[in-house]
Amino acid sequence: MKVAFIGGGKMAEAILHGVLSGKVAAPQDVSVGEPVSGRREYLINEFDVLADADNLKTAKDADLVVFAVKPQDLGSVMGQLKGHLGPQQAALSIVAGAKMETLATGLGHQSVIRVMPNTPAQIGEGMTLWTCSDGVDDSRREMTKSVLGTIGQEIYVSDEKYMDMATALSASGPAYVFLFIEALIDAGVYVGMPRNMARTLALQTVFGSTKLVMDTGMHPAELKDMVVSPGGTTAEALKVLEDRGVPAAIVSAVDAAYRKSVQLGQG
């Protein structure tokens, strides 16, 4: 398989690393179009792949052309490649809010794949939702599944409406979790704990709690109730979180991110 990346940022690097580690593609079959010379040199030295400032040269002959640019740069990049992708090539986009219709029109190409990964893909623990147009054949779908499987879990959906929802929940989700972890560490320091100790306790608590939900298959509410003793410390803490509207704030935050993703897709 030959894979081309248009944009060589962190998410592109995560997928690139997964593709090479998973032996889905060999270094000589991976190319990156990246305008920053220092970044090109890094990718060449780190992964032994091809890198060039010319996106047309980069995309030529690739089976999958991965668009990993900022939303504001997508229009100009599509303009460079419009009409230059062949019938056997598929355009795969990880650009937030970019609909398949936008990609197909901007590229003059009907074989498009919309993908929404998240940053834990950098360590092979990502969560990716993806969909594709009718113009993507079975072989390109299998290629996409293979590529995304190297960076974590992947779920295919036939309805594109779920992509904006995934953007709000799983793609933006790590930031919500990091904010919670940061606050938990700061809380430990506030009550008198050394920061290193608070960090270790907070990280293992979040990791262990997540694994407990996944391994047992139990509803989070059930597991929460198992921690709460009548009149105890946990009940006191949860009352404060409820009174401060934390659960409702999380719902509102995800909803706001969802609406923003929809807005980005509307241009």
pLDDT digits (tens, 9 = 90+) for 112-170: 999 999 999 999 999 999 999 999 999 999 999 999 999 999 999 999 999 999 999 99
Going along the chain from its start, the domains and CATH numbers come out as: 3-160 (3.40.50.720), 173-265 (1.10.3730.10)
pLDDT > 90 in the chain, percent: 96
The pTM of this model reads 0.92
**pLDDT tens digit string along 233-259?**
999 999 999 999 999 999 999 999 999
Mean pLDDT of the chain: 96
- Position 40 scores a pLDDT of 97
**pLDDT tens digit string along 197-224?**
999 999 999 999 999 999 999 999 999 9
Give Cα 178 to chain centroid, integer Å: 15
- Position 33 scores a pLDDT of 97
What tokens appear for 162 in the block?
């779920």
Q: Is the pLDDT of residue 267 over 90?
A: no
Which residue's entry shows tokens 């990718």? 43
- Is residue 242 within 8 Å of residue 221, measured between CB atoms? no
Phi and psi dihedrals of 189, rounded to 5?
-65, -40
What number is the average pLDDT over the span 36-46?
A: 97
CA atoms within 13 Å, Cβ hemisphere of 215: 6
Q: Give 266's pLDDT tier (boundaries 50, 70, 90).
A: confident
Quick one: residue 67, left, alpha or beta (phi over 0 = left, psi -120 to 50 = alpha)? beta
What are the start-end ranges of the H helices in 133-172? 138-149, 161-166
